[in-house]
Every structure is written in C-alpha cells, then in structure tokens.
Amino acid sequence: MAVVNETGMLMCARCGAVVLAAVVAVASSLGCETGRQRPQSPNDVVCLKEPQTGSHIVETRCFTRAELDERRKADQDMLEKAQMNSNRPARRRDQ
C-alpha cells in the first residue's frame, strides 16, 4: 500500500482544477457550433404562453416576429402616452 500525504493530494486537486480551467478556456475560445443560432427572420413563428386576464390559465398563442414587434411597439407607445398624460397638471374648471 502506498501512503499519500495530504500535500500530494492537494497538489493533485490543484492540477486537476488548472487542467479543467484550461480546457474550458480553449473550448470557449474555439466556439461551439451548438451555441450558434440562425439569423432571425420577420416571418419566423414564435409561440408564447400568455395568462388570460383575471385567470391563472395559460394559453399558448403563436405570432410572427413582425407581429410581435408591432405589438411591442404599440404597447410601448401606449405606456409612454399614459405616463406623459399622468404627469400633466390637472385643469381646474373654476379658472
């Protein structure tokens, strides 16, 4: 039986960590093919799980990317308009 002291085990663990870090660094610098995505087209269909108003039931709805972009832009415009109107001072009728 061979007896390994604690410093030898610690050195072995450090070497393993260094080798693992080197492998991760090389793999990330090479770039993995699995991480690549194809270019997004406005005609791609995207399905979202949306809860119905006043309910916990989730319904899946599918839209094209172009429709989602239009919808998000309209929602953003509506929120900006509501915020602008909420900061406007109220008019008094007695003036």
pTM metric for this prediction? 0.46
Domain ranges (residues) in the chain:
7-31+41-86
Residue 24 banded pLDDT, cuts 50, 70, 90: low
Confidence check: pLDDT of 1 > 50: no
pLDDT at 74: 96
Q: CA 73 to CA 43: how far, in whole Å? A: 17
pLDDT at 39: 78
Mean pLDDT, rounded, for 55-73 = 93
- What letter does residue 38 receive in the DSSP assignment? P
pLDDT at 14: 63
